[in-house]
Structure 1
Amino acid sequence: MTPHRHDPDAPHASPDRSAGRRAVPRSAVRRRTLLGLAGAGAALGALPALPALAGERTPARTPARATAPSAVTYRGVYHHTVPDEWKNDPQRPLLIDGAYHYWYLYNADYRAGAEGTAWRLATSTDLVTFADQGVAIPKDTTPNGDVWSGSAVVDHENTAGFGAGAVVALVTMEPVEGANTQAQYLWYSTDGGRSFAPHGTDPVLANPGVRDFRDPKLLWDAERGRWVQLLAENDKVGFYTSADLRSWEYVGGFVRTGLGVLECPDLFRIETADGEARWVLGVSANGKPVGLPNTYAYWVGSFDGTTFTAETDEPRWLDHGFDWYAAVTWEKHADLGGGQVDPTTRYALGWLNNWDYANATPTLEHDGFNGTDSVVREITLGRDADGGWALFSRPVDTLAARATHVHELGDLAVDGELPLDFAGVAYEVTTTVRWERLTTLGLQLRRSADGASHVDAGVHGDYAFLNRGGVPHPDASGTWTESRSPFDPARREVTLRVLVDRASVELFVDDGRHVHSQLAFPAPEATGLALFTVGGPATFGGVVIRDFA
């Protein structure tokens, strides 16, 4: 039996990256040395040797490498990717004129080594397939330079004076690099968000003399009839209010230390299925130094228009993998005509990358781009096993319609390793596994023909895991190969839902209570799939494979 790629002694501690996704000021990260194919290839990591759980060490294996650049592609089959060059932070989508409008940070000059981002627009009616609409906010067209993350709103009541229905965006710009000049600037659109014009060259919210002052998130406080802005201010999320989106007043802040810069803040109200309501405050944070994720941290609590009060000191995490950053959430409407908002469900989307190795990808040479997003999720609020509130995730329901074939395999008994009669590079697998006594169980994804390389997803003891150490992946240090989330072994049952694409794997555990998102770059010819157990048998119940290729 080929040992699965899981290391119970895999490191969890992080290098000191306490500044969050940017260990240096944001502008400096934009100037990171560009990795061309040679650099990216050298940076792709593979764990050299993993101990088998039976106790014997297995020899190091070299994962299969890709064939000639002209013969393969790593562009996702059902994931949104930038058409060319570079993308990073998603910007919150809005439903406008029957389509979701999704902006993201884009650098057209990435491979030339030039800095700076614009807002590029894509539209979608199903949140699976996106149509590129080009640049909506260009970079370097005002004295303030390029545009960073922010958020847009539809100003239905013309509070800002640009006309009812105008799309108003607040974005961070930094006129003078490294001089405490990050500030918030207003751009507006009168053509449904397809193009924006600047509202002058002065900020609507000036920098008070601090380094980190960015990522504005806007929401409408209907109860008080005013706008609220959240801002990333190092280890604080600042709260500001305005009647017109132009003049802002500071009203309070939410502080948490030890998680780096609390970037890309998010705030929303959500109800349970039985109508109980809570507010959720989310941030993109770095918990690596203390063995926590580097993704979307959130707190459940209450919001009174000026102050967010968390019910717990410690955050929960919407993703336990290594590659789900700068995530945004937004409203789910009953229909594309802008019907009633579902108070129990929100959409969510993250950038599939990590600033620790953002340039390490074979997509540069093979496809001429660097930038992939996660699948869109639907998130709901429910009780965790400990009785506390938690968010649950599931892939957007329209993804099912994208499947080209559905393979229903039923219940499969597994004791050891069971290769399946399936081959593919883009698919979804779902199963509920039950057992009496074993050590480990899971799936071998994107398995090579000789069984030597694969990505593993499953459960070991008291945690679920996703391990990319057996295939090429972006972390040259070999540190970030296996992500983990807690699991109660006394249950002896787990539901696994795994989304596989050409360069990514997303694992949803137990109805999405825990999710792991990772980049991985298996050889294009690695198309196998197998189930496995260690230390005893299990029944993989109701196995269904949806092929998206």
Structure 2
Amino acid sequence: MRPEYHFSVPDNWKNDPQRPIFVDGEYHYYYLYNADYLAGGIGTSWRRATTLDHVSFVDHGVAIEKFTNANGDCWSGSLVIDAENTAGFGRGAVIALVTQAAVDQVPEGRQAQYLWYSTDGGRSFQPGGDDPVLADPDIPDFRDPKVIWDGSRERWFMALAEGRRLGFYASPDLATWTRVGEFARDDLGLLECPDIFEMTADDGSSQWVLGVSANAKHRGMPATYAYWTGAFDGSGFVPDALEPRWLDWGFDFYGAVTYPHHETSGEEDASLRHAIGWANFWDYPHNTPTLVTDRYNGDDMIVRDLRLVRERDGYALASTPTAALTQYTTRLHRLGDLEVDGDLDLDIHAPAYDLSCEIEWDADADCRNSDIGFEVCRAGGGSRFVAAGLDMSGPCAYLDRTLTVNPTRGRTQAPLDTSAGRVAIRLLVDRTSVELFVGNGRSAQSHRVFPLAGDAGIRLFARGATAVFREVTIRELSVPTAD
């Protein structure tokens, strides 16, 4: 059941992605890894993989070992390249700020931030001392440092998850940190894995974005990556709007991180970022048949290309599957325009593919009770499938894994603008996931699913209305295993 084109851990366990860095012409991706998971062991290390195109990854093993000292195992954090040797480990040293929790100090563990450094381009790390660079102020949640260089003030800046708030800190050297502000929310559950960056929007303006993994299920909203655009002054962040936007409206896009795109010259493209998210959630982290079939537990959703777009009510991140994905097409089906009134089963069965089209309907007709979309991962008799579609009664775009094998049954939905009478669709299907992108990435939904062997049918449907699925294209995909 290992996915054909999504990132998966070689063995045992993975959870949180760590923000990739660009070193010597390639992206270094780190993630939390437990080599003792199948044997019942605990603790996470940082494992490293590299990629040139955000699709094909080469594994390089553990870069930061767990339980190296008495400070505990390594949790989430972030890496930076210390170009000016502010920390004293040499120009170009890779510095990791990592949360460790010394469980022997207090019963529940004492979370603090520690510095690790690498002088070999991020291949291996050593602790920069046994003492924390930012000690626990006696609160239960104090973790996930996200560090950036604040060029306007010539200093480092850190956003840190502190329960229902983010703490903001500044430092000249990555080792001494001063609290300078905070961002608090009491309606999004526990805040984790913060993110902050500046980006050039499609109108040419420069905007700041603050992101966080949040859980708003109690409000009928997602538990994924929430974000705000707004003003950042080095100490505080003032959002443009009270309510966050969501990078994903599905069940399984947690602990996500974003990272800048680099040209071949190494220069950053301020108008393009990438995002990668864990294909799981803490409500059911160990519920996966891959433990039996492939002896591992841990996939990521596809890396996304992010662009900041100006909309009527402010700025929003549009996300699409990363551009290089189409280079891994193994078989191409161009089906043209298909008019559907009822159900249409395609004569294509595949376990892993990228389906794209534009769905068009009569915007002047009464379509308020219509349902238009796809059944994928479909069993021969139709008793199992994942539904992805447009519910005009909402109106909303939805992804529904109720009728297939999955961690929990259920349906998610995202707002949908139906005024144009048409919308672009991308639907990524792999052995352990389905991802729906609507309106050129204006909304996305990601679900962890586990179709049974042979559940690979594809059905188009238009119920309550006639729809045209224009330029239907299906790319079967596979990424060769790296040597």
Q: TM-score range by the shorter chain?
A: over 0.9
C-alpha distance in 1, partners of 2:318/2:380?
35
Describe how 1:143-542 pairs up with structure 2 within 5 A.
143-176=70-103, 178-179=107-108, 181-335=110-264, 337-338=265-266, 340-384=267-311, 386-436=312-362, 437=365, 438=367, 439-461=370-392, 462-475=395-408, 478=409, 481-542=410-471
Q: Name the structure 2 match of 1:127.
A: 54
Question: Could you list the per-position Cα deviations for residues 299-349 of structure 1 after superposition, in whole angstroms to 9, with x for gaps in the alignment?
Answer: 1101111111101111010000000000000110112x41x2111111100
Cα displacement (A) at 1:178: 4.4
Cα displacement (A) at 1:110: 0.8
C-alpha distance in 2, partners of 1:125/1:391?
23
Cα displacement (A) at 1:488: 2.6
Q: Secondary structure at the match of 2:419?
A: helix
- Alignment pair present for 1:139 and 2:66: yes
Higher relative contact order (CA 8 A, sep 6+): 1
Q: Which letter does structure 1 place at the counterpart of 2:464?
A: G
Task: Please tell me whether the aligned partners of residues 352 and 519 of structure 1 are also in contact (alpha carbons under 8 angstroms).
Answer: yes
Q: Which letter does structure 2 place at the counterpart of 1:409?
A: L
Q: Which letter does structure 1 place at the counterpart of 2:448?
A: L
The structure-2 alpha-carbon separation of the partners of 1:538 and 1:507, relative to structure 1 and needing over 3 Å to count, comes to same
Q: Name the structure 1 match of 2:481.
A: none
Q: Secondary structure at the match of 2:465?
A: coil
C-alpha distance in 1, partners of 2:231/2:245?
16
Q: Secondary structure at the match of 1:274?
A: coil
Gap runs ≥5 in structure 2: 479-483
Worse overlay, 175-184 or 82-91: 175-184
Task: Please tell me whether the aligned partners of residues 293 and 322 of structure 1 are also in contact (alpha carbons under 8 angstroms).
Answer: yes
Task: Please tell me whether the aligned partners of residues 229 and 240 of structure 2 are also in contact (alpha carbons under 8 angstroms).
Answer: yes
C-alpha distance in 1, partners of 2:109/2:150?
30
Q: Which letter does structure 2 place at the counterpart of 1:77?
A: E
C-alpha distance in 2, partners of 1:88/1:303?
30
Q: Which letter does structure 2 place at the counterpart of 1:521?
A: F
Q: Secondary structure at the match of 2:241?
A: coil
C-alpha distance in 2, partners of 1:524/1:219?
45
C-alpha distance in 1, partners of 2:321/2:22?
19
Q: Secondary structure at the match of 2:326?
A: helix
Task: Please tell me whether the aligned partners of residues 394 and 508 of structure 1 are also in contact (alpha carbons under 8 angstroms).
Answer: yes
Greater per-residue strand proportion: 2
Q: Secondary structure at the match of 2:375?
A: strand
The structure-2 alpha-carbon separation of the partners of 1:399 and 1:534, relative to structure 1 and needing over 3 Å to count, comes to same
C-alpha distance in 1, partners of 2:112/2:201?
37
- Alignment pair present for 1:95 and 2:22: yes
Q: Secondary structure at the match of 2:252?
A: coil
Task: Please tell me whether the aligned partners of residues 180 and 210 of structure 1 are also in contact (alpha carbons under 8 angstroms).
Answer: no
Task: Please tell me whether the aligned partners of residues 202 and 310 of structure 2 are also in contact (alpha carbons under 8 angstroms).
Answer: no
Cα displacement (A) at 1:214: 0.2
C-alpha distance in 2, partners of 1:401/1:433?
25
Worse overlay, 179-188 or 460-469: 179-188
Task: Please tell me whether the aligned partners of residues 180 and 212 of structure 1 are also in contact (alpha carbons under 8 angstroms).
Answer: no
Cα displacement (A) at 1:274: 2.9
Cα displacement (A) at 1:179: 4.8
Q: Secondary structure at the match of 2:238?
A: strand
C-alpha distance in 2, partners of 1:444/1:181?
47
Question: Could you list the per-position Cα deviations for residues 237-285 of structure 1 after superposition, in whole angstroms to 9, with x for gaps in the alignment?
Answer: 1110111000000000001111112110000011112311110000000
**Sequence identity of aligned pairs in percent?**
52
Question: Could you list the per-position Cα deviations for residues 22-52 of structure 1 after superposition, in whole angstroms to 9, with x for gaps in the alignment?
Answer: xxxxxxxxxxxxxxxxxxxxxxxxxxxxxxx
Cα displacement (A) at 1:223: 1.2
Q: Secondary structure at the match of 1:163?
A: coil
Q: Secondary structure at the match of 1:378?
A: strand
Cα displacement (A) at 1:388: 2.0
Q: Which letter does structure 1 place at the counterpart of 2:403?
A: G
C-alpha distance in 1, partners of 2:320/2:4?
19
How many residues of Structure 1 are paired with residues of Structure 2 in the alignment?
469
Query: CA-atom RMSD, angstroms?
Result: 1.1
Q: Secondary structure at the match of 2:137?
A: coil
Cα displacement (A) at 1:398: 0.6
Cα displacement (A) at 1:200: 1.3
Task: Please tell me whether the aligned partners of residues 440 and 534 of structure 1 are also in contact (alpha carbons under 8 angstroms).
Answer: yes
Q: Which letter does structure 2 place at the counterpart of 1:450?
A: G
Q: Which letter does structure 2 place at the counterpart of 1:102?
A: Y
Task: Please tell me whether the aligned partners of residues 180 and 209 of structure 1 are also in contact (alpha carbons under 8 angstroms).
Answer: no
